[in-house]
């Protein structure tokens, strides 16, 4: 049975202007074996909006 490890990545600026930076980051994570499993949008107390990415990969033994 596979064991998993998890990672949460916060994207502070989510718009077209910064999209290429997020693509580069996600491509690097994919090369490292990380798979995106879910996303969530969070609004903190100061009305700042950011996106959380939840990733997993098979744990290296």
Range of the domain at 52: 4-58
Confirm whether pTM is higher than 0.85. Answer: no
pLDDT in tens, 42-61: 887 777 788 889 999 999 87
Distance separating alpha carbons of residues 38 and 53, to the nearest angstrom: 6
User: Which class for 51: exposed (0-12), middle (13-18), buried (19 or more C-beta within 10 A)?
Assistant: middle
Please give the average per-residue pLDDT across 38-45, as a whole number. 86
Which helix or strand (DSSP H or E) is residue 4 part of? Answer: strand 4-11
Number of compact structural domains in the chain: 1
């Amino acid at each position: 049975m596979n064991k998993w490890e998890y990672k949460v990545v916060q994207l502070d600026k989510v718009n077209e202007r910064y999209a290429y930076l997020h693509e580069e980051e996600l491509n690097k994570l994919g090369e490292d074996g990380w798979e995106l499993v879910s996303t969530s949008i969070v609004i903190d107390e100061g009305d700042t909006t950011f996106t959380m990415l939840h990733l997993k990969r098979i744990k290296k033994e």
